[in-house]
Structure 1
Amino acid sequence: MLVQIQKFIDQFHTRLSQIISWFTLIMVLLTLLIVILRYGFNMGWIAMQESVMYLHAAVFMLGAAYTLQVDQHVRVDVFYRKFSERGKALTNLLGSLLLLMPVNIFILLISWEYVGNSWGLLEGSQEAGGLPLVFILKTFILLFAGSLSLQGIAEIIKSTLVLAAAGERK
């Protein structure tokens, strides 16, 4: 059952990453359009510029869990790369339990009211002509911590299974 949960979480984040990967192309095209309009035609829209920021936030915040899944997150790799599979699994398990999960729980708890207040106001941009969706932008904070916690659970399961298999081989 644990393997099924882990695989479901991994598949969810893989699909999510495939969707948000298109956001980077959209950001590039929007940025190109913004530059052409501004410098070629002396025109600009705040909403278009803000949409690039929203897309960037989505790519970063929603892509973090997939980055963890494929083991491409930032890590001090000086010692880790020399560890055995068991050592890596133990490091990942302890890191997930003692660092990743507490930080994500803290982010969820501390930002819940912040995001809730934004939704209560249906907060919009302070810029004239900006997007009226700041509450959506702030929601990415909760989605970030939630999806990273979910992937943390998958990583805990993976590490536990590696350690169990290593224990059986002894």
Structure 2
Amino acid sequence: MRFLGMIAALICAINQVVGKTFAWLSLGIVVVCFTVVVQRYLFATSYVWMQDLYIWLNGAMFTAVAGFALLRDDHVRVDIFYRPAKMKTRAITDLIGVVLFLMPFMWIVYTYSMPFVQRAWNYHEASANVGGMPGLFILKSFIIAFAVLIALQGVAMIIRSILILTGNVHLVPASIQYSADRIAADHPEGAV
């Protein structure tokens, strides 16, 4: 069981590094978008490649940080029943949800996007816009990264559920503990 905890911690570390690194693209998006607006309205000029750039940065950021968002439990969910549920109930819900919905969906995304991405790489696809950016094939590769990072985090969630359901809560890495349990651990005296 300790080995499972180490695997979950490694997966979480990967998603944290990728997520925190690609989150910085948001700053680049703002700078490039601001530059495009200033050029257009103050200097009456525009570069198609710059417009492509902030759209592409946005796509790269959101696909790359999706696993990190899942790690942080930042995805949208109906919490009416989930949030107040006991830890074991949440573990069962996560296990069922990941196995029945998340993993099959990530497999579908991966399977159907792979030929699309391979075709883009085969002819080094660029922007369809005249004067646009080269390297669209690299951006399309982020679809594969999205599927892989989400699926990896799904594996970490499965491991977390197994550890909780087998009574090995102490082996669950802190990075994937449930948020209410993190608060309780940070404030054992109950001052929340």
Structure 1 length normalisation: TM-score?
Answer: 0.95
Counterpart in the other structure of 2:58: 56
Any residues of structure 2 matched to 1:23-38 within 5 Å, and which? 23-38=25-40
User: Runs of 4+ in structure 1 displaced over 2 angstroms?
Assistant: none
Matches within 5 A, 1:1-170: 1-165=3-167
- Partner secondary structure for residue 166 of structure 2: helix
SS in 1 for 2:125: coil
Distance 2:19 2:144 in 1: 17
After superposition, what is the alpha-carbon deviation per residue over 1:60-118, rounded to whole angstroms, capped at 9, x for unaligned?
Answer: 10111011101111111121112111111111111111100000011111111111111
Paired with 1:99 and 1:83, the residues of 2 have a C-alpha distance of 20
Larger helix fraction of residues: 1
Structure 2: distance between partners of 1:161 and 1:53: 41
Question: Displacement of 1:48 after TM fit?
Answer: 0.7
CA distance in 2, matches of 1:145, 1:85: 27
Q: Distance in 1 between matches of 2:138 and 2:70?
A: 24
Secondary structure at 2:85's aligned position in 1? coil
In 2, Cα distance between the equivalents of 1:159 and 1:70?
16
Aligned identity (percent) is 35
How far is 1:166 from its partner?
A: 7.3
Superposition deviation, residue 162 in structure 1: 1.0
Q: Could you tell me whether the CA contact under 8 Å between 1:118 and 1:135 is conserved in 2? A: yes
Partner amino acid, structure 1, of 2:151: S
Unaligned stretches of 5+ residues in structure 2: 170-192
CA distance in 2, matches of 1:141, 1:44: 29
SS at 1:73 equivalent: coil
The structural deviation recorded for 1:43 is 1.1
How far apart, in 2, do the equivalents of 1:164 and 1:40 lie? Answer: 64
User: Matches of 1:52 and 1:159 in 2, distance apart?
Assistant: 39
